[in-house]
Homo-oligomer: A and B are copies of this chain.
Amino acid sequence: MVSSAGSGASRYVVGVDFGTLSGRAVVVRVSDGEELGSAVSEYSHGVMDDRLDATGAALPPDWALQVPDDYRDVLRTAVPAAVKAAGIDPSDVIGIGTDFTACTMVPVLADGTPLCEVPQFKERPHAYVKLWKHHAAQPQADRINELARERGEPWLERYGGQISSEWEFAKGLQLFEEDPGVYDAMDHWIEAADWIIWQLCGTYVRNACTAGYKGIYQDGAYPTEDFLGALNPGFASFAEDKVAHEIGALGSRAGSLTEEAAKWTGLPAGIAVAVGNVDAHVTAPAAQAVEPGQMVAIMGTSTCHVVNGAELAQVPGMCGVVDGGIVDGLWGFEAGQSGVGDIFGWYVANQVPEEYSRAAEEAGIGLHDHLTRLAFAEPVGAHGLVALDWHSGNRSVLVNHELSGVVAGLTLQTRPEHVYRALLEATAFGTRVILEAFADSGAPVTEFIVAGGLLTNTELMQCYSDVLGLPVSTIASEQGPALGSAIHAAVAAGAYPDIRSASEAMGRVNRAVYTPDKERGQAYDALYREYVALHDYFGRGGNDVMKRLKAIRREALS
Residues on A close to B: CB < 8 A? Answer: 339, 342-343, 346, 349-354, 357, 378-386, 391-392, 404-412, 414-416, 419, 523, 526-527, 530, 533-534, 537-538, 543, 545-546, 548-550, 552-553, 555-557
> Which residue of B352, B380, B533 contacts A545 across the interface (Cβ within 8 Å)?
B533
Closest to A342 in B: B412
- Cβ contacts under 8 Å, A357 to chain B: 353-354
Nearest first, the 7 closest Cβ-Cβ pairs linking A and B are A405-B410, A384-B553, A354-B354, A381-B552, A382-B556, A381-B556, A409-B549
Q: Which residues of B contact A411 (CB under 8 A)?
A: 391-392, 404-405
Shortest Cβ distance from residue A551 to the other chain B in the assembled complex, whole angstroms = 9
A545 touches B530 (CB 8 A): yes
Q: Are A412 and B383 in contact (CB under 8 A)?
A: no
A425 to chain B, nearest CB (A): 12
A158 CA / B411 CA spacing, docked (Å): 29
The chain B residue with its CB closest to the CB of A343 is B412
Q: Which of B339, B379, B537 contacts A537 (CB 8 A)?
A: B537
* Nearest CB in chain B: distance from A173 CB, A: 28
In contact, B537 and A549 (Cβ under 8 angstroms): no
CA–CA, A410 to B393, complex, Å? 10
| Bound complex: CA A408 to CA B378 (Å) | 25
Q: Are A408 and B404 in contact (CB under 8 A)?
A: yes
How far in angstroms is the closest Cβ of chain B from A128? Answer: 26
Would A384 and B409 count as touching, CB distance under 8 A?
no
Within the complex, which residue of B353, B381, B392, B419 is in contact with A553, where a contact is CB–CB below 8 Å?
Answer: B381
How many copies of the chain does the oligomer comprise?
A: 2
Considering residues A342, A343, A385, A410, which has the most beta carbons from chain B within 10 angstroms of its beta carbon? A410
Tell me the bound Cα distance from A356 to B62 in angstroms.
29
CB A41 to nearest CB in B, in angstroms, measures: 28
Q: How far is the CB of A379 from chain B (nearest CB, A)?
A: 4
What are 24 A-B contacts with C-beta separation under 8 Å?
Answer: A346-B412, A351-B352, A353-B353, A354-B357, A380-B556, A381-B555, A382-B556, A383-B553, A384-B404, A384-B552, A384-B553, A385-B549, A391-B412, A406-B407, A406-B408, A407-B407, A408-B538, A408-B545, A408-B549, A409-B546, A526-B552, A530-B549, A533-B545, A537-B537
- A555 neighbours in B (Cβ, 8 Å): 381
User: Min CB distance, A82 to chain B, in Å?
Assistant: 34
Structural contact, A533 and B527, CB atoms closer than 8 A: no
Q: Are A350 and B408 in contact (CB under 8 A)?
A: no
CA A404 – CA B349 in complex, angstroms?
25
The complex places the Cα of A137 from the Cα of B63 at a distance, in Å, of 63
A107→B380 CA distance, assembly (Å): 43
Alpha-carbon distance A378/B353, docked complex (angstroms): 23
Tell which of B352, B383, B391, B404 touches A353, judged by Cβ atoms closer than 8 Å.
B352
B-side contacts of A410, CB under 8 Å = 391, 404-407
Contact status B556-A350, CB under 8 Å? no
Is A414 a contact partner of B381 (Cβ separation < 8 A)?
no
Q: Which residues of B contact A407 (CB under 8 A)?
A: 406-407, 410
Output the least CB separation between A553 and chain B (Å): 4
Most B CB within 10 A of own CB, among A343, A534, A549, A557: A549
- Greatest chain B CB density within 10 A among A352, A380, A548 is at A548
How far in angstroms is the closest Cβ of chain B from A558? Answer: 10
A353: chain B residues within 8 A (beta carbon): 349-354, 357
Roughly how many angstroms separate A556 CA and B527 CA in the complex, as a whole number?
12
Contact A350:B552 (CB < 8 A) given known A533-B545, A545-B533, A546-B409 = no
Whole-angstrom distance between the alpha carbons of A504 and B109 in the complex?
Answer: 87
Which B residue sits closest to A354, measured CB to CB? B354
Q: A384: which B residues are within 8 A, CB to CB? A: 404, 549-550, 552-553
Query: Within 8 Å CB of A350, what residues of B?
Result: 353, 414-416
Q: Is the pair A556, B378 in contact by a Cβ cutoff of 8 Å?
A: yes
Using Cβ atoms and an 8 Å threshold, which residues of chain B touch A537?
537, 543
CB A509 to nearest CB in B, in angstroms, measures 31
